[in-house]
């Protein structure tokens, strides 16, 4: 598995940043990594909306590219041989699974936002849905609360 790349699903959130660092601790460094940011077409977020205003999707794609490049830089700093990747897709989880299959990755890494209750019902869980729809290994990381980190250090 170690000769196949790691796929980081990266959205620029603190959870995604923490996932890179936790993966470096768990998986070792020096491995090839693809830092994937998936962006949704304009109408995907708004049911019933027609064509996006001129240039809007291009702007969204450019923002996604900047996010992926930031993630690749962070992964490189954490010791991975990282490259950014940007994909358009809806739903996001499906595009992540497809990209992992297309690139024959060894493991997918995602940071969990830790949604529970109504938030999870309304917003869903990309990490959980990816894990449920792939046969590849998945590492879902969780931010450790500062008080838990402090307790572990004692």
Beta bridge partners of 38: 87
Q: How far apart are the C-alpha atoms of 72 and 7, rounded to whole Å?
A: 11
Assess whether pLDDT exceeds 80 at residue 55. Answer: no
- pLDDT of the residue at 114: 58
Query: Which residues in 87-104 are b (16+ Cβ under 10 Å) and which e?
Result: bebeebbebbbebbeeee
Is the Cα torsion angle 12, 18, 19, 21 positive or negative in sign?
A: positive
Mean confidence (pLDDT) of the chain: 82
Read off the pLDDT of residues 14-53 as tens digits, 9 standing for 90 and up. Answer: 999 999 999 999 997 789 999 999 998 865 555 455 555 5
148 versus 95: which is more confidently predicted? 95
What's the token pair of residue 55?
A: 């240039």
């Amino acid at each position: 598995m170690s000769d196949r790349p790691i796929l980081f699903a990266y959205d620029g959130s603190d959870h995604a940043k923490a996932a890179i660092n936790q993966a470096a601790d768990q998986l070792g460094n020096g491995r090839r990594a693809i830092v994937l940011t998936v962006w949704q077409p304009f109408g995907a977020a708004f049911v019933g909306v027609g064509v996006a205003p001129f240039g809007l999707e291009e702007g969204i794609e450019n923002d996604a590219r900047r996010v992926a490049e930031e993630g690749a830089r962070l992964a490189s700093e954490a010791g991975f041989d990282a490259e950014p990747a940007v994909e358009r897709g809806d739903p996001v989880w499906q595009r992540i699974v497809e990209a992992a299959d297309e690139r024959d990755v060894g493991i997918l890494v995602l940071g969990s936002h830790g949604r529970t209750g109504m938030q999870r019902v309304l917003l869903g869980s990309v990490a959980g849905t990816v894990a449920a729809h792939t046969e590849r290994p998945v590492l879902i990381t969780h931010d450790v609360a500062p008080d838990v980190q402090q307790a572990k250090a004692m």
